[in-house]
Structure 1
């Protein structure tokens, strides 16, 4: 009998490795604030404007039991600030002060993290169920101080002021055992996660106007001119163009032929209002004369109204009055 040589079947068993083992990691989660908007702001007012409710939500996943994560929340400088106190919003080269805070009373400026809450958080990984995410939320607050009269509008329009943080606000994370974890701020970190944030405010063009009464001196006969003056005070947003018009009055309703009327009778007295002490430019509106034009500075601007009663026939004695409406357009 002939023996056939034995045959062998060699089976290769292979294990494919698709990548490195998954590491501990943290990510920004849904609910993280991307924009802090102060809304419309009048920088002439003394009232502060707030935009609270900002938050950074971080979710961490652990791949080993017994680990913890030190999470540090840092705020740096945006693209228009040169310091953290104050931070500034920008519109071209123009600036407006504001700041970010870690407390609802707006006293603790958010800057580099410290080894205390709320900028330092210690996250404990799950005891069971590795891979289960653990989430923490850091809240921040924003205040834009009032009384910033030098803040400008641009192009005589409401002006958007903005600051952008692309990479300078961060969440720094270190994983380890409790005794081995460093304090915030971390010199060595496992992850650095940028917190993109845009801060905005809309500076509104605005004006206020106040006027004092103009009273001519008593006069027995109108055989010579009588003169008097009053003041109009304007306060407009810096760099905001405006015009102030005076109408034709309640008696004549005619800028070019203003009149005062006797308090009880039909008698009238002719008079006129001017922008200059030379009585050359009648202060009027679109119907006659010229409105006064100016550019806001953020401070009070005071203008004199020059009044004159020309020589004319003298009416009956008594008090004469007209009511003028001053209107500011901006």
Structure 2
């Protein structure tokens, strides 16, 4: 009787689908913000910089495969024009998924795109990095100041 129980238990584990579910994996996200270089106003060119979005996933029950999507909020603006704020002043900027800075990283609505990935869930943490490409368009006439914004990163897995 004891052998039969062990055999059924093994079959039960093997019969689990090898896809990520909330109970099979945990994922966390950490970020390094985009820090732009000094911006020349008026008449300056584009100010470009990058940050980092790191997603770490770990299996909690079994090893398998999974996927996730990374979305960004609008911050203090819209997906068309995110805004860096300094007091009552704002400086337009945006965050992109590509080095050409042509695809706005958003929540998938309108013309924005999210970042998606699939992975093998291991019992040890696996981390993948994604680069947000930031740009402040040139030729904005704004007063000097310290401009900032907060964008929320959401991972769905």
**TM bracket (short chain):** 0.7 to 0.9
> Residue 316 of structure 1 is aligned with which of 122, 139, 143?
143
**1:282-304 deviation per Cα after TM superposition (whole angstroms, max 9, x unaligned):** 11004441111111334100111
2:114 counterpart of 1:294: no
Q: 1:207 — aligned with what?
A: 27
Counterpart Cα distance in 1 of 2:44 and 2:72: 27
TM-score, reference length from structure 1: 0.39
Provide structure 2 residue ranges, at least 5 long, that are not aligned to the other structure.
none
**1:115-150 deviation per Cα after TM superposition (whole angstroms, max 9, x unaligned):** xxxxxxxxxxxxxxxxxxxxxxxxxxxxxxxxxxxx
C-alpha spacing 1:89/1:301, structure 2 compared with 1 (3 Å):
farther
Q: 1:154 — aligned with what?
A: 18
More relative contact order, 1 or 2 (CA 8 Å, 6+ apart): 2
Q: 1:276 — aligned with what?
A: 98
Larger radius of gyration: 1
> Residue 258 of structure 1 is aligned with which of 71, 74, 82?
82
In the comparison of the two structures, how many residue pairs are matched?
Answer: 145
Matches within 5 A, 1:1-330: 78=7, 90-92=13-15, 154-157=18-21, 204-221=24-41, 223-236=44-57, 237=59, 238-249=64-75, 251-252=76-77, 254-262=78-86, 265-288=87-110, 289-298=112-121, 299-330=126-157
**1:209-242 deviation per Cα after TM superposition (whole angstroms, max 9, x unaligned):** 1111110011233520010001000123551111
Q: CA deviation at 1:89?
A: 7.4
Provide structure 1 residue ranges, at least 5 long, that are not aligned to the other structure.
1-27, 36-76, 82-87, 95-152, 159-202
Aligned-residue CA RMSD in angstroms? 2.9
The answer on whether the counterparts of 1:255 and 1:287 sit within 8 Å (CA) in structure 2 is no
TM-score, reference length from structure 2: 0.78
Counterpart Cα distance in 2 of 1:268 and 1:284: 20
C-alpha spacing 1:296/1:208, structure 2 compared with 1 (3 Å):
farther
In structure 2, the residue corresponding to 1:255 is in which secondary structure?
A: coil
In structure 2, the residue corresponding to 1:271 is in which secondary structure?
A: strand
Counterpart Cα distance in 1 of 2:102 and 2:40: 26
